[in-house]
Amino acid sequence: MSLISLTPLDLSLAAGLVLLLALLTHRMQLGLSKQIIIAGLRTSVQLLLIGLVLKSIFANSAFIWIAIISSIMLFAAGREVMVRQKRYFKGFWGFGVGVISMFVSSFAVTVFALNVVINSEPWYHPQYAIPVLGMLLGNTMNGISLAMNQLLQNAWQQQEVIESRLMLGQTAREAISDIRRESMRSGMIPILNAMAAAGLVSLPGMMTGQILASSPPTEAVKYQILIMFLIVVGTGFGTIAAIGLTSHRLFDKRDRLRLDRLKIRKG
Amino acid sequence: MNLTLKSLSIHNGQSFDLTVPTGECVCISGASGTGKTLLLRAIADLDPHEGEVILGEAESQTMPANEWRQKVGLLPAESHWWFDTVGEHFSKSNPVMLKKVGFGEEVLGWQVKRLSTGEKQRLAIVRLLALQPGALLLDEPTANLDAENTKVVEQLINDYRKKTTAPVVWVSHDPRQIKRVGDRWFQIKEGKLVEGKIQ
């Protein structure tokens, strides 16, 4: 079966449905219509722009350009992790924890997949490197954000409990161990649920996209399994890194709980 | 072992110098916000501070923080618990001490959420004393207790002090309690410890 190319009119019809939803939420006074329209516009503009960027990168697969676009994606993901936290670290750490964790979860795992599993030639071939990195950044970001948010919120709310444990001679690591464990679970559960439901309840987006773009379903499935494995590994490693860095920064060298290093996001 | 504070400073304008000789109980009072709790927290090294805190020969910064906090046992006015049952908070059972505060060993199987405030505080003291601290820092330990429970707690701490000769710093607002338990009494005024006469 050949690819059915979508025309601007086809996309306009889908956009019409989004507008209809915005209108409905406006009539129901849900306060969401503006956000729906802005999100729709952002999606369209951002994806059209990345389409153009990818088109030119595919035509000229110089390593430097792929490195630049990958770094931009990484920093954007790091920032996104930070802005999703109700409480976040002041200064470099606020941004740094997100970027380092996303680097572990996505960059390192992507480089491994390109070199060891996919074996593309060259290994940074943009047709593979950019989509795999994008999938990993987008999907591991949720787990990492959830885990960090849970850790920081619980540390804030359970200050007395943590300090009581410190007063009884526990180390910082022991005093926050239960909160760390719960946060790790929060970060991992969405991807574990998605893996359990894949193929039974839902058809994952990447696989659906490949099938719509005329790839044989068996090939699409193989790539989807690979991506799912990479996402769970990336989320796991990234969440471990995020929780490790966050709990390290929550205490100082004398194992004192330093909530004064946190800022609260207003609104 | 003496407990000595040398130019202990928590925030601007405060500087505390104090020696609590072995086995002595020093009571501290002061208006709200004068830094009584912060003083105890600084001694326990829970907040950043300047100056020195020495117990016996050991200065707080010369040993790992968790070992120091175990040496200077800090008890807040309200105890906190994180496991479901009482027993999970104790590394080993101590029937003698539990009996002193009116409990049998079966209390270790009780659910923490079913304990009253008084029961929690009595058990919190047993939990602390089980670590055999070399000094005690008590932040209004009987503030939320009735007269009967207050008496039990005072007796338990007094017994421990006599047995171990641990120096005690006891924050209290109650003049009668200060008279019952204190050897010396200080007030925090304008960031300094000012000694008063126990009446």
At A120, is the pLDDT very low, low, confident or very high (cuts 50, 70, 90)? confident
Residues of chain A in contact with residue B73, where contact means CB-CB under 8 angstroms, are 167
Rounded to a whole number of angstroms, the distance from the CA of A257 to the nearest CA of chain B is: 7
Residues of chain B in contact with residue A157, where contact means CB-CB under 8 angstroms, are none
Q: Judge whether A164 is closer than 8 Å to chain B, CB to CB.
A: yes
Nearest chain B residue to A256 by CA: give it.
B46
Q: In sequence order, what are the beta bridge partners of B187?
A: B29, B194
At A6, is the pLDDT very low, low, confident or very high (cuts 50, 70, 90)? confident
**pLDDT beyond 70 at B13:** no
- What's the pLDDT at B93? 76
- List pLDDT tens digits, range A199-248: 888 778 888 888 888 888 898 899 889 888 999 999 999 999 999 999 99
CB contact under 8 A, B46 and A170: no
- List pLDDT tens digits, range B57-72: 999 999 999 999 999 9
Q: Judge whether B76 is closer than 8 Å to chain A, CB to CB.
A: yes
Other CB atoms within 10 A of residue A78 CB = 22
Q: Judge whether B66 is closer than 8 Å to chain A, CB to CB.
A: yes
Report the C-alpha gap between A117 and A114 in whole angstroms: 6
Rounded to a whole number of angstroms, the distance from the CA of A172 to the nearest CA of chain B is: 8
Report the C-alpha gap between B162 and A104 in whole angstroms: 56
- List pLDDT tens digits, range B158-179: 999 999 999 999 999 999 999 9
- What's the pLDDT at A201? 80
At B126, is the pLDDT very low, low, confident or very high (cuts 50, 70, 90)? very high
Residues of chain B in contact with residue A160, where contact means CB-CB under 8 angstroms, are 76, 78, 80
Helix (H, G, I), strand (E, B) or coil at A87: strand
CB contact under 8 A, B76 and A164: yes
Cα angle: A132, vertex A133, A138; to 5 degrees: 100
State the greatest distance between any 2 C-alpha atoms of chain B, in Å, as a whole number. 50
- What's the pLDDT at A1? 58
Q: Select from B65, B78, B131 the Cβ nearest to the Cβ of A168.
A: B131
Q: Span A133-147, mean pLDDT?
A: 92
CB contact under 8 A, A169 and B69: yes
- What's the pLDDT at A215? 86
- What's the pLDDT at A214? 84
At A2, is the pLDDT very low, low, confident or very high (cuts 50, 70, 90)? low
Tokens read off for B164: 């171990």
- What's the pLDDT at A204? 82
- What's the pLDDT at B192? 86
- What's the pLDDT at A121? 85
Burial call A153-190: b when 16+ CB within 10 Å, e when fewer:
ebbbebeebbbbbbbbbbbbeebbebbbeebbebbbee
CATH superfamily assigned to domain B3-73+127-196: P-loop containing nucleotide triphosphate hydrolases (3.40.50.300)
Q: Which is more confident, B43 or A267? A: B43
Nearest chain A residue to B138 by CA: give it.
A167
In whole numbers, what is the pLDDT of chain B averaged over residues? 92
Report the C-alpha gap between A225 and A208 in whole angstroms: 13
Residues of chain B in contact with residue A169, where contact means CB-CB under 8 angstroms, are 66-67, 69-70, 131
CB contact under 8 A, A163 and B46: yes
Nearest chain B residue to A172 by CA: give it.
B66
Burial of B173 (0-12, 13-18, 19+ CB in 10 A): middle
Residue type, A191: I
Residues of chain A in contact with residue B67, where contact means CB-CB under 8 angstroms, are 169
Taking CB atoms and an 8 Å cut-off, how many pairs form between chains A and B? 52
CB contact under 8 A, B65 and A254: yes
Cα angle: A213, vertex A218, A220; to 5 degrees: 40
Q: Select from A165, A169, A257 the Cβ nearest to the Cβ of B82.
A: A165
The segment with the largest mean pLDDT, out of A77-91, A149-163, B30-44, B91-105, is A149-163
Report the C-alpha gap between B7 and B18 in whole angstroms: 9
Percent of chain A with pLDDT over 70: 99
At A267, is the pLDDT very low, low, confident or very high (cuts 50, 70, 90)? low
CB contact under 8 A, B70 and A169: yes
B126-155 residues touching A, CB cutoff 8 A:
127-128, 131
**pLDDT beyond 80 at B12:** no
Q: In sequence order, what are the beta bridge partners of B184?
A: B26
Range of lowest pLDDT (A144-153, B12-21, B153-162): B12-21
3-state SS track over chain B: CCEEEEEEECCCCCCEEEEECCCCEEEEECCCCCCHHHHHHHHCCCCCCEEEEEECCEEHHHCCHHHHHHHEEEECCCCCCCCCECHHHCCCCCHHHHHHCCCCHHHHHCEHHHCCHHHHHHHHHHHHHCCCCCEEEEECCCCCCCHHHHHHHHHHHHHHHHHHCCCEEEECCCHHHHHHHCCEEEEEECCEEEEECCC
Q: Span A111-140, mean pLDDT?
A: 90
- What's the pLDDT at B14? 81
Residues of chain B in contact with residue A163, where contact means CB-CB under 8 angstroms, are 46
Are A136 and A106 in contact by the 8 Å Cβ rule? The answer is: yes
Tokens read off for B37: 């709790």
CB contact under 8 A, B46 and A166: yes
- List pLDDT tens digits, range A12-26: 999 999 999 999 999
Q: Select from B45, B79, B82 the Cβ nearest to the Cβ of A254.
A: B45
- What's the pLDDT at A255? 97
- What's the pLDDT at A238? 94
For residue A180, how many C-alpha atoms fall within 13 Å in the half-sphere facing its CB?
A: 17
- Neighbouring residues of A140: CB distance < 8 A, sequence distance ≥ 6: A102, A105, A106, A231, A234, A235, A238
Other CB atoms within 10 A of residue A235 CB = 27
Instruction: Give kind and range of the element (H or E) at residue A89.
Output: strand A87-89
Report the C-alpha gap between A27 and B60 in whole angstroms: 65
Report the C-alpha gap between B61 and B186 in whole angstroms: 26
Report the C-alpha gap between B123 and B114 in whole angstroms: 13
- What's the pLDDT at A210? 85
Pairing status of strand B25-29 against strand B72-75: unpaired
Residues of chain B in contact with residue A254, where contact means CB-CB under 8 angstroms, are 45, 61, 65
Q: Judge whether A121 is closer than 8 Å to chain B, CB to CB.
A: no
Cα angle: A131, vertex A45, A13; to 5 degrees: 100
Torsion over CA: A152, A154, A157, A159 (sign): negative
**pLDDT beyond 90 at A250:** yes
Q: Cα separations (Å) of B180 from A63, B1, B184?
A: 79, 23, 11
Q: Span B103-113, mean pLDDT?
A: 94
At A262, is the pLDDT very low, low, confident or very high (cuts 50, 70, 90)? very high
Question: What's the residue count for chain B?
Answer: 199
Rounded to a whole number of angstroms, the distance from the CA of B197 to the nearest CA of chain A is: 31
- What's the pLDDT at A53? 85
- What's the pLDDT at A55? 87
Q: Cα separations (Å) of B159 from A115, B3, B95?
A: 69, 19, 16
Q: Span A128-146, mean pLDDT?
A: 91
- What's the pLDDT at A240? 95
Q: Span A134-163, mean pLDDT?
A: 94
- What's the pLDDT at A154? 97
Range of lowest pLDDT (A93-107, A117-131, A137-151, A153-167): A117-131
Are B191 and B35 in contact by the 8 Å Cβ rule? The answer is: yes
Percent of chain A with pLDDT over 90: 64
